[in-house]
Homo-oligomer: A and B are copies of this chain.
Amino acid sequence: MSMEPEFGEFDLIRRFFLKRGAPRRGSGVLLGIGDDAALLELPQGTDLVATVDTVVCGTHFLEGADPRSIGHRAMAVNLSDMAAMGATPAWATLALTLPGVEASWLEEFAAGLLQLGAEHAVELVGGDTTRGPLTVSVQIMGHVPHGTALRRSGAAAGDILAVSGTLGDAAAGLALLKKPAARLTAQAQALIQRFNYPTPRVQLGIAARGVAGAAMDLSDGLVGDLPKLALASGVAAHVAIEKLPLSAAMLDTIGIEQARDWALAGGEDFEMLLAIAPDRFPALKRSADQLNLTLTPIGELRTGAGVTWSLNGNDFVPSVSGYDHFA
């Protein structure tokens, strides 16, 4: 019997994911990977925030995708949920199912996952590695000062509806990935990068804590996600489609109509959707400026229910529906 068989489950986790030495000071990790569970210390006066998201081959990334981007994505989608709550992310666990062990793949995957985690001071505190079709579930735990979490249900009629960054780039990047060209322009490469390496808006979420009324992250497209916020808050939402922030990269690559469809319904952007009282908007705009992030008003919340859309003052009905993994 070998206690740590080469490439055994126990060894796998250690080899690729366990950082050497003790956890970072102030990380709250009393006991990390290596026992039956992790032991963590929440800062005083905070609530625990927990989320889980899975990325699966064929659904969230293409067959043969760069393992570094898969690792990055698995961490990013969960960090984006933390951002949407205004939470400070702190700890992650990883459930990794793999068809087999390929050291170079695992090294790249771990690098993508751990590097983005490190940028946000997230410690990997637990994991489980099993054999099976490639599936990556990450859970992140974080915290917010008691009572300050951003919920979907806190929006009020009269609030400004705003989004961070630009919308539709990830869908454009995915479309480019699906039909590889001989030579990619710098614009096309930038769009592919937006799909492969989404940037969670963690700092904006923290800045919006106590400022925005409601928030969520855009993972299923505006058409799919906005109705959830409106319903949770018991208000109607209106969006002026000409205000949607579209990147120069996307507009230079494809026509305005396709660009708008992607901005409306393309999933995986991981930008933030925020509802903010008009008198508080300037303060949040300043915070976004300091983060070098655009924050664009796209509409407003009204009394009533449901979502309406307009284009240059005329009623508009999106021809595309929200991204749903089981639709």
Contacts and interface: CB of A to CB of B under 8 A. Distances in A.
B131 A59 contact: yes
Contacts of A10: 228, 324
A292 to B, nearest CB: 23
Interface in A126-166: 126-133, 135, 137, 139, 141, 144, 146, 149, 151-153
A267 to B, nearest CB: 11
Nearest to A41: B47
A238 to B, nearest CB: 15
A48 B176 CA distance: 44
Given A42-B42, A326-B101, A87 B37 contact: yes
B50 A40 contact: yes
Contacts of A9: 324-327
A53 interface: yes
A182 interface: no
Nearest to A11: B326
A321 B133 contact: no
Interface in A87-129: 87, 91, 93-95, 97, 101, 125-129
Interface stretch (A17-25, A28-36, A167-175, A189-197): A28-36
A151 B49 contact: no
Contact of A135 (B40, B133, B217): B133
28 contacts: A1-B223, A1-B320, A8-B324, A9-B324, A9-B326, A30-B47, A31-B149, A34-B232, A35-B151, A35-B153, A36-B51, A36-B152, A39-B144, A40-B49, A42-B48, A50-B91, A51-B93, A52-B94, A52-B128, A54-B97, A55-B130, A56-B97, A59-B132, A60-B130, A93-B139, A130-B325, A131-B325, A131-B326
Interface of A: 1-3, 5, 7-10, 12, 30-31, 34-42, 47-60, 81-82, 84-85, 87, 91, 93-95, 97, 101, 125-133, 135, 137, 139, 141, 144, 146, 149, 151-153, 215-217, 223-224, 227-228, 231-232, 318, 320-322, 324-327
Given A5-B324, A10-B324, A52-B127, 4 more contacts: A36-B51, A37-B84, A41-B48, A52-B126
